[in-house]
């Protein structure tokens, strides 16, 4: 009876090991991840301190792997002209920022998906 249990445990362990290897290969397969675009969205309101918020996001992006997030879409939630200009400057400085209006968001996402 002890040998049966040991053999059963060995087979279960082998099965789990093989499935873990397959799953790891899928997760780290370069061909699978390189064609994907990973988007985060931030809505900016006119009550926000835009320089502080965008600076914080830019600093956090230094520590985030591009396989997790590689584009951040900034949505105009009623910004004034000065705040919009700050957003455009950040978009020029950092290539992962994209500034858009709520009306253009769906078109932008489809365009990004099409270009990958």
From first to last of its 116 residues, the chain has per-residue pLDDT tens of 678 887 777 777 777 777 776 777 666 665 555 556 778 888 899 998 999 999 999 988 888 777 678 888 999 999 999 999 999 999 999 999 999 998 888 888 788 777 76
Contacting residues for 62 by C-beta, under 8 A, at least 6 apart: none
Domain span including residue 15: 2-31
Q: State residue 104's pLDDT score.
A: 86
Domain count, the chain: 2
Token look-up 């061909």 returns: 31
Structure tokens at 110: 């489809």
Whether residue 13 is found in the same domain as residue 49: no
Q: Are 97 and 86 in contact (CB under 8 A)?
A: no
Whether residue 22 is found in the same domain as residue 49: no
Helix (H) / strand (E) containing 30 = helix 30-34
Whether residue 19 is found in the same domain as residue 52: no
Whether residue 69 is found in the same domain as residue 101: yes
Whether residue 22 is found in the same domain as residue 50: no
Structure tokens at 41: 């969205």
Whether residue 27 is found in the same domain as residue 47: no
Whether residue 26 is found in the same domain as residue 48: no
Q: State residue 111's pLDDT score.
A: 83
Whether residue 23 is found in the same domain as residue 41: no
Whether residue 23 is found in the same domain as residue 57: no
């Amino acid at each position: 009876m002890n040998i049966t249990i040991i053999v059963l445990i060995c087979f279960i362990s082998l099965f789990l090991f093989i499935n873990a290897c397959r799953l790891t290969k899928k997760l780290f397969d370069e061909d699978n991840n390189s064609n994907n675009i990973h988007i985060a969205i931030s809505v900016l309101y006119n009550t926000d301190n835009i320089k502080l918020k965008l600076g914080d996001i830019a600093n956090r992006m230094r520590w985030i792997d591009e396989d997790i997030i590689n584009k951040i879409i900034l949505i105009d939630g009623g910004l004034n002209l000065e705040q919009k200009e700050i957003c455009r400057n950040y978009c020029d400085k950092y290539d992962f920022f994209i500034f858009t209006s709520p009306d253009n968001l769906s078109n932008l996402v489809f365009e990004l998906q099409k270009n990958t």
